[in-house]
Amino acid sequence: MYGTIFRLIWPYLQRLLAKRTAEYLQKRREQRLQAHAIVSPLAQKSGQVERLECPPVQSRFATVDAVWFTLSGVLLGSAISLILAQLFLREE
């Protein structure tokens, strides 16, 4: 029953995910091009030919993501360890 429903819905989910991913990547591409368009004229006006290098700015979201990824990794590792411990203890 659920397999049939999943087979009917899966193509629509794939298209939706592909569309959202494409939109996200296009927004990122436009932001990068806009940032490059702003930096290039500034470098030319100041007489500098070399590219201006800006230090990477770490956003608050990047640090929050790092914390969540770390916590999820620890939780997943703990769960796998408990499962393996239960399997090995039952065999003895």
**Out of 2-11, 17-26, 56-65, least confident range:** 56-65
Name the domain count of the chain: 2
Q: Do 24 and 38 sit in the same domain of this protein?
A: yes
Q: Do 36 and 65 sit in the same domain of this protein?
A: no
Q: Do 65 and 22 sit in the same domain of this protein?
A: no
Structural domain of 67: 57-92
Is the pLDDT at 92 greater than 60, yes or no? no
pTM given for the model: 0.39
Q: Do 2 and 43 sit in the same domain of this protein?
A: yes
Q: Do 6 and 48 sit in the same domain of this protein?
A: yes
Q: Do 48 and 70 sit in the same domain of this protein?
A: no
Residues 36-80 pLDDT 10s: 777 666 555 555 555 556 666 666 666 778 888 999 999 999 999
Q: Do 47 and 87 sit in the same domain of this protein?
A: no
* 47 burial via Cβ count (<10 Å: 0-12, 13-18, 19+): exposed
Q: Do 5 and 36 sit in the same domain of this protein?
A: yes
